[in-house]
Copies of this chain bind each other. A is one copy, B any other.
Amino acid sequence: MKKGKKYSYLYERPALAADTVIFGFDGETLKVVLTQRKKDPFKSRWALPGGFVFMDETTEQAAKRLLLEKAGLKNVFIEQLYTFSDMDRDPRERIVSVAYYALVNARQYEISAGRDTLKTEWFSLQDMPKLAFDHSKIIKLAAERLKGKVSYQPVGFELLNEKFTLPQLQALYEAILETPIDKRNFRKKILSTGLLLALDEKEKNVAHKAAQYYSFDKKMYKELGKKGFHFEL
C-alpha cells in the first residue's frame, strides 16, 4: 500500500470519470469542443473535456461542473450518452467514463481554455484531429445519437439563437442529418408541427432578400419533446 493513499476498499475499484461532447452550430456545420491536453498520457493531443466524478456529485452534476471548468459553459442542455468501460481505455489505470453530450449556441458562448488544458477550440465534425483515449468513438456515438434525436424530438432551441430564420433551422437539420433537404418540403413540415412562432421581424444587412425570424413556441417544444413526434424528410 503506497503512502498517502487514504481511501481503502476490500475490492479493487475503477476510477469514475465524466466526458462531455459539446455540440455547437455555427450556421454551416456541426462543431464539437476539444481541449488540448497539457500532460501525459496523450500530451498535446486533443481530447473531450472531462474529468473525475467527485463523491458528492452525480455523474450529471460532474459533467455540468466540467462543462463550466473546462469550457466556461453554464446552464446548458445535457443528456447522458453512454458509459464506456473498456479496461484499457486509459493507459494509466482503469477509468470508467460516463459520457454526456451538450447542445449549445456556438455563437453565443465564447469557449475558454481550462486550467489543465493548453487550448480549447471548436472543431468541425468532418474535420477532427487525432484524439486521445477512445474519444473518437465517443464523438461518433454522440453524432449518431443526435441524428436519432432529431427524428423524434424537436432540436434547435439549444443550438440556435432565440430568433432564427427557417433557412438557419434547415441548415442545422441538414448538418445533423448529413443530408440535403428540400426547402419547400422542410418548411411545410416544420411549420405544420406548430413548433414555430413567426416573428414580426426580418434579417437585416444581408445582400439578398431578408429572411423572416421565427422563435420556438416553448410550450409546444416541451410537449413534443416529451411525447415525441416523427420528423423525417
Contact = CB atoms under 8 A, between A and B. Distances in A.
Given A5-B10, A6-B8, A87 B15 contact: no
Contacts of A10: 4-7
Given A14-B16, A16-B13, A230-B230, A87 B8 contact: no
The size class of the interface chain A forms with chain B is: 35 or more
B2 A8 contact: yes
Q: How many copies does the complex hold?
A: 2
A121 interface: no
A55 B8 contact: no
Interface string A64-86: 00000000000000001011011
A11 B52 contact: yes
Contacts of A12: 7, 55
Interface string A180-219: 0000000000000000000000000000000000000000
Interface in A1-34: 1-2, 4-16
Nearest to A57: B87
A120 interface: no
A232 interface: yes
Given A7-B8, A80-B82, A152-B152, 16 more contacts: A4-B10, A7-B12, A7-B13, A8-B8, A9-B9, A9-B13, A11-B52, A12-B55, A13-B16, A53-B85, A55-B87, A55-B94, A56-B87, A57-B87, A58-B86, A85-B98
